[in-house]
Amino acid sequence: MTDFHVYDTTLRDGAQQEGLNLSVPDKLAIAGYLDQLGFGFVEGGWPGANPKDTEFFRRAATELRLQHAVLAAFGSTRRAGTEAAQDPQVLALVESGAPVVTLVAKSSPRHVVEALHTTLEENLAMVRDTVSFLVAQGRRVFVDAEHFFDSYVQDPAYPVQVVQEAFAAGAEVVALCDTNGGMLPPQVFRAVTELRAVTDGILGAHCHNDTGCAVANTLAAVDAGATHVQGTVNGYGERTGNADLVTVVANLQLKQGREVVDPAALAQALHLSHAVSEVTNIPPVGRQPYVGASAFAHKAGLHASALKVHPDLYQHTDPALVGNSMRTLVSDMAGRASIELKATELGYDLTHDRELAARTVKRVKDLEQDGWTFDAADASFELLLREEVTGEPLQYFATESWRIITDSGDGREALSEATVKLRAAGRRVVATGEGNGPVNALDHALREALADAYPELAGFELTDFRVRILDASHGTDATTRVLIETSDESSSWQTVGVAPNIVHASWTALVDSFSYGLLKRGVQPRP
Contacts to Zn ion by CB under 5 A: 13
Q: Is the dihedral of CA 210, 216, 222, 227 positive or negative?
A: positive
Question: Shortest distance, CB of residue 13 to Zn ion, whole angstroms?
Answer: 4
Q: Which residues make beta-bridge pairs with 45? A: 73
Give Cα separations from 424 to 398, 399, 427, 494, 512 (angstroms): 7, 9, 6, 24, 16
Residues 6+ apart with CB under 8 A from 290: 246, 247, 250, 269, 270, 322, 324
**Alpha-carbon span 251 to 219, nearest angstrom:** 8
Question: Shortest distance, CB of residue 179 to Zn ion, whole angstroms?
Answer: 6
Among residues 13 and 43, whose Cβ is nearest to Zn ion? Answer: 13
Question: Shortest distance, CB of residue 146 to Zn ion, whole angstroms?
Answer: 8
Among residues 104 and 131, whose Cβ is nearest to Zn ion? Answer: 104
Question: Shortest distance, CB of residue 104 to Zn ion, whole angstroms?
Answer: 9
B/e letters for 390-416, b = 16+ CB within 10 Å, e = fewer, are eeeeeebbeeeebebeeeeeeeeeeeb
Question: Shortest distance, CB of residue 59 to Zn ion, whole angstroms?
Answer: 25
Question: Shortest distance, CB of residue 227 to Zn ion, whole angstroms?
Answer: 19
Distance of CA 444 to the CA centre of its chain: 32
By three-state DSSP, how is residue 47 classified?
coil
For the chain, the residue count is 527
Distance of CA 224 to the CA centre of its chain: 29
Among residues 241 and 371, whose Cβ is nearest to Zn ion? Answer: 241
Among residues 13 and 35, whose Cβ is nearest to Zn ion? Answer: 13
Question: Shortest distance, CB of residue 208 to Zn ion, whole angstroms?
Answer: 6
Among residues 173 and 518, whose Cβ is nearest to Zn ion? Answer: 173
**Alpha-carbon span 519 to 278, nearest angstrom:** 27
Among residues 13 and 375, whose Cβ is nearest to Zn ion? Answer: 13
Burial of 274 (0-12, 13-18, 19+ CB in 10 A): middle
Dihedral pair phi/psi, residue 244, rounded to 5°: -75, 110
Among residues 12 and 342, whose Cβ is nearest to Zn ion? Answer: 12
Question: Shortest distance, CB of residue 198 to Zn ion, whole angstroms?
Answer: 25
Among residues 241 and 301, whose Cβ is nearest to Zn ion? Answer: 241
Among residues 13 and 368, whose Cβ is nearest to Zn ion? Answer: 13
**Alpha-carbon span 527 to 523, nearest angstrom:** 12
DSSP 89-139: HHHHHHHT--SEEEEEEE--HHHHHHTS-S-HHHHHHHHHHHHHHHHHTT-
Q: Are 418 and 396 in contact (CB under 8 A)?
A: no
From the list 509, 400, 526, 522, the residue with the least C-alpha distance to 462 is: 509
Q: Are 105 and 77 in contact (CB under 8 A)?
A: yes
Question: Shortest distance, CB of residue 9 to Zn ion, whole angstroms?
Answer: 7
Question: Shortest distance, CB of residue 144 to Zn ion, whole angstroms?
Answer: 8
Among residues 15 and 484, whose Cβ is nearest to Zn ion? Answer: 15
Question: Shortest distance, CB of residue 181 to Zn ion, whole angstroms?
Answer: 8
Residue nearest to Zn ion (CB): 13
Q: How many CB atoms lie within 10 A of CB 213?
A: 22
**Alpha-carbon span 526 to 319, nearest angstrom:** 40
Pair type for strands 479-487 and 461-470: antiparallel
Angle at 467 between CA 422 and CA 442, to 5 degrees: 25
Pair type for strands 140-146 and 173-178: parallel
Among residues 159 and 301, whose Cβ is nearest to Zn ion? Answer: 159
